[in-house]
């Protein structure tokens, strides 16, 4: 049956990611970079295309809003402003929509959370280039290894999960939630006390 087969494929992909020591270490490293950014008064910008833009928005709103329990917001922004994107795409080309935003808003000490299942989306790669030029750190989330984005990133979390992007994106949202929880546990440990919830 297609439905149970799809669940089985997703479980296999997750099991493979769990067994990938390099990916697990990368998640830990990425969380440390995010924590360092916030500790030093920096902001995190997130970008991606299509489903990855939705993931970038999800990532940012969980940080500025709440994840599991109430706490103060953390400085995060998805690059998703339609006015900015349509303006830059029209005047400079779609390949520049994220890099122009990074150049305009990013500062040394900030962090770019760059999502691309292929690891080679031109506008995401350009954003990483712009971030590095400013002195920002770059955390990449991809669905493949040995990509252009990985080369530019301070840390790259790769979730290879088969031929199609949907499996990689399913793992991406799991990684995103883990990153947010690790950040929250650092800054708001009281939200994870036995009185608030079961760890």
pLDDT band (50, 70, 90) for residue 160:
confident
CA of 169: how far to CAs of 25, 88, 139, 176, in Å? 19, 27, 16, 10
CB 144 within 8 A of CB 119: yes
15-185 homologous superfamily = Glucose-6-phosphate isomerase like protein; domain 1 (3.40.50.10490)
Provide the CA 26 distance to its chain's centre, in angstroms.
Answer: 12
pTM over 0.75: yes
Show me where the domains of the chain are located.
Answer: 15-185
Instruction: Give residue-wise pLDDT tens across range 94-143.
Output: 999 999 999 999 999 999 999 999 999 999 999 999 999 999 999 999 99
Instruction: Give residue-wise pLDDT tens across range 39-91.
Output: 999 999 999 999 999 999 999 999 999 999 999 999 999 999 999 999 999 99
């Amino acid at each position: 049956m297609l439905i149970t087969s799809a669940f089985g494929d997703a479980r296999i992909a997750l099991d493979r990611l769990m067994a990938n020591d390099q990916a697990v270490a990368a998640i830990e490293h990425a969380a440390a970079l995010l924590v360092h950014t916030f500790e030093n008064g920096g902001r995190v910008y997130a970008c991606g295309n299509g489903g990855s833009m939705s993931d970038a928005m999800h990532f940012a709103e969980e940080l500025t809003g709440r994840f599991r329990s109430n706490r103060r917001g953390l400085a995060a922004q998805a690059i998703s402003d339609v006015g900015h994107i349509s303006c830059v795409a029209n005047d400079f080309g779609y390949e520049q929509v994220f890099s122009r935003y990074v150049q305009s808003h990013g500062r040394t000490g900030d962090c770019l959370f760059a999502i691309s299942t292929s690891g080679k989306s031109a506008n995401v790669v350009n954003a990483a280039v712009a971030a590095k030029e400013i002195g920002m750190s770059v955390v990449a989330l991809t669905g493949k290894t040995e990509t252009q984005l990985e080369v530019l990133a301070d840390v790259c979390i790769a979730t290879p999960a088969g031929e199609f992007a949907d499996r990689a994106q399913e793992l991406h949202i799991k990684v995103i939630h883990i990153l947010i929880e690790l950040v929250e546990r650092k800054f708001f440990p009281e939200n994870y006390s036995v009185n608030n919830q079961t760890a």
